[in-house]
Amino acid sequence: MNLIKQAHQFSQRALPKRDPNFGKPLDTSHGPILYVEGVTVSFDGFKALNNLNLYVDDGELRCIIGPNGAGKTTMMDVITGKTRPDEGSVYFGQQIDLLNLSEHQIARGGIGRKFQKPTIFEALTVYENLELATAADKRVWFTLTQSLSAEQTDRIDSVVRQIGLLSEVQRPAGLLSHGQKQWLEIGMLLMQSPRVLLVDEPVAGMTGEETERTAELLTSLAGDHSVIVVEHDMAFVRSIARQVTVLHQGSVLAEGTMDQVQNNPKVIEVYLGE
Ligand SMILES: Nc1ncnc2c1ncn2[C@@H]1O[C@H](COP(=O)(O)OP(=O)(O)OP(=O)(O)O)[C@@H](O)[C@H]1O
Average pLDDT over residues 144-173: 89
Question: Could you give the C-alpha distances from 134 to 152, 154, 205, in angstroms and in order?
Answer: 7, 12, 28
Residue 8's pLDDT band, with cuts at 50, 70 and 90, is very low
Please provide the average confidence, as pLDDT, over all residues in the chain: 87
Which residue, judged by its Cα, is nearest atom 24 of ligand 1? 68
pLDDT in tens, 41-75: 999 999 999 999 999 999 999 999 999 999 999 99
Which whole-number Å values give the CA distances from 122 to 72, 143, 211, 246, in the listed order?
Answer: 29, 16, 22, 36
Q: Is the minimum distance from the CB of 48 to ligand 1 under 6 angstroms?
A: yes
| Residues of the chain above pLDDT 90, percent | 73
Task: Check if 74 has its Cβ closer than 6 Å to any atom of ligand 1.
Answer: yes
Contact 162, 217 (CB under 8 A): yes
Residue closest via CA to ligand 1's atom 5 equals 43
248 Cβ inside 6 Å of ligand 1: no
Whether residue 141 has pLDDT greater than 80: no
Its pTM stands at 0.87
Architecture of domain 32-273: 3-Layer(aba) Sandwich (3.40)
What ipTM does the predicted assembly reach?
0.96
d(CA 95, CA 22) in angstroms, rounded, equals 9
Is 231's pLDDT higher than 50? yes
Answer yes or no: is the C-beta of 231 below 6 A from any ligand 1 atom. Answer: no
Ligand 1 binding pocket includes 71 (Cβ within 6 Å) = yes
Q: Which pLDDT band, with edges at 50, 70 and 90, does 21 fall under?
A: low
Share of the chain above pLDDT 70, in %: 84
Contacts 24+ apart (CB under 8 A), 154-157: 155/191, 156/127, 156/130, 156/131, 156/191
Lowest model confidence (mean pLDDT) among 139-148, 152-161, 182-191, 262-271:
139-148
pLDDT digits (tens, 9 = 90+) for 173-227: 999 999 999 999 999 999 989 999 999 999 999 999 999 999 999 999 999 999 9
Establish whether residue 115 lines the binding site of ligand 1, counting it when its CB lies within 6 angstroms of any ligand atom.
no
Q: Which atom of ligand 1 is nearest to the CA of 83?
A: 1
Q: What is the SS3 assignment for 246?
A: strand
Region class of 99: left (phi > 0), else alpha (psi between -120 and 50), else beta: alpha
- Range scoring the smallest mean pLDDT among 12-21, 72-81, 109-118: 12-21
pLDDT band for position 13 (50/70/90)? very low
